[in-house]
Amino acid sequence: MRHLLISLFICTLFNSLHAQKGVTAFGIQFKPIFPLNIVNTDGKVVRDDETGSTLTIDVNSGYSMGATIRFGLTDRISIETGINYIVRNYSFELTNNSFSPSSAELKFPGYQLPLVGMVFVRLSENVYMNSSAGISFDMFPTQGVVSHDRDSIEYGLLEKNWVMLSLVANLGFEYRSKKSGYFYLGASYHNTFGDMADVIVSYKELNSNQYVKLVDPYPAVNGNYLSLDLRYYFNPEPRKKSVDAPE
């Protein structure tokens, strides 16, 4: 049901965008995601004295890719939106007094629908600098992901909410060619309003289908990250230019 709702929303969004005369450029993008200490994405260590467990949670590099559409409101101000598929990677290491160390890796996929305002400064004939800020609707239709180690220890990431709101900020540079399109290089900061998912670690009892929590209460992870933004925009639709209008 969630996949259906997301698909309908995306179709409606893109149909409305293409119907607007203000559409100036359509592009594609790829964003490597980097965990950094300065945005609290370096992971953490959680201990449960009652079960004798120590869980280390690390955030690894991930990626995001998708399509973007830009509206030119004025010569210097634009609005941009689109749809992105994102994968965040996590690794876990568990030590416990009752069994040997355990580890697992999980991929946590989702979708993002950003809406940002952009301000451009022309640096030369074909080079522009821009800064942008806005919001992103982060969606997680999978509900959660699970991995097992030795068929007895279960690791899981369970979403807090299937739709979350995030703050997005960006700074970048763009080279605009009349024949080849626009080439963009920048960096973004993505900050979720609240934790993204709970980490669940449990142990399957011998000769039983019952799982026992090894870390209680469940630790949480957020969705914050920094990314390198690589974008390409196809040549925009022709429009009337002013003196300082982008090419």
In a domain, 103, yes or no: yes
Query: Confidence class of residue 76 from pLDDT cuts 50, 70 and 90?
Result: confident
Q: 57 is written with which tokens?
A: 């949670």
Q: Tell me, yes or no, whether 133 lies in a domain.
A: yes
pLDDT of residue 222: 86
Distance CA 204, CA 109 (A): 26
For residue 243, tell me if it sits in a domain. no
Tell me how far the alpha carbon of residue 54 is from its chain's centroid: 28
137-173 per-position pLDDT tens digit: 999 988 789 988 877 899 999 998 889 999 999 999 9
Q: What is the pLDDT of residue 3?
A: 52
Q: How far apart are the first and last CA of the chain?
A: 43
Q: How many CB atoms lie within 10 A of CB 45?
A: 11
pLDDT at 37 over 90: no
pLDDT for 238: 52
State how far the Cα of 169 lies from the Cα of 198, in Å rounded to an integer.
Answer: 26
pLDDT digits (tens, 9 = 90+) for 46-73: 999 988 999 999 888 999 999 999 988 8
Residues 88, 107 contacting (CB under 8 angstroms): yes
Model-level pTM greater than 0.75? yes
Mean pLDDT score of the chain, rounded to an integer? 84
Pick left, alpha or beta for residue 19 (phi over 0 → left; psi -120 to 50 → alpha; otherwise beta): alpha
Identify whether 137 is part of a domain: yes
Note whether residue 94 is domain-resident.
yes
Number of domains in the chain: 1
CB atoms within 10 A of CB 238: 6
Q: What percent of the chain has pLDDT over 90?
A: 55
Residue 68 lies in domain: 2-233
List, for residues 79-137, the tens digit of each pLDDT value: 999 999 999 999 999 998 888 899 999 999 999 999 999 999 999 989 999 999 999 99
> What digits encode the pLDDT tens for the residues 14-28?
443 333 345 478 999
Structural domain contains residue 244: no
Residue 246 is assigned to a structural domain of this protein: no
Per residue in 108-120, pLDDT tens? 999 999 999 999 9
At residue 10, the pLDDT reads: 46
Residue 40 has pLDDT above 80, yes or no: no
Confirm whether 15 is domain-assigned. yes
Asked if pLDDT for residue 7 goes beyond 70, the answer is: no
- Tens digit of pLDDT for each residue in 207-241? 777 888 999 888 998 889 999 999 999 977 554 55
Contact 129, 96 (CB under 8 A): no
User: Which pLDDT score is estimated for 22?
Assistant: 53
Q: What is the CATH number of the domain that holds 220?
A: 2.40.160.20
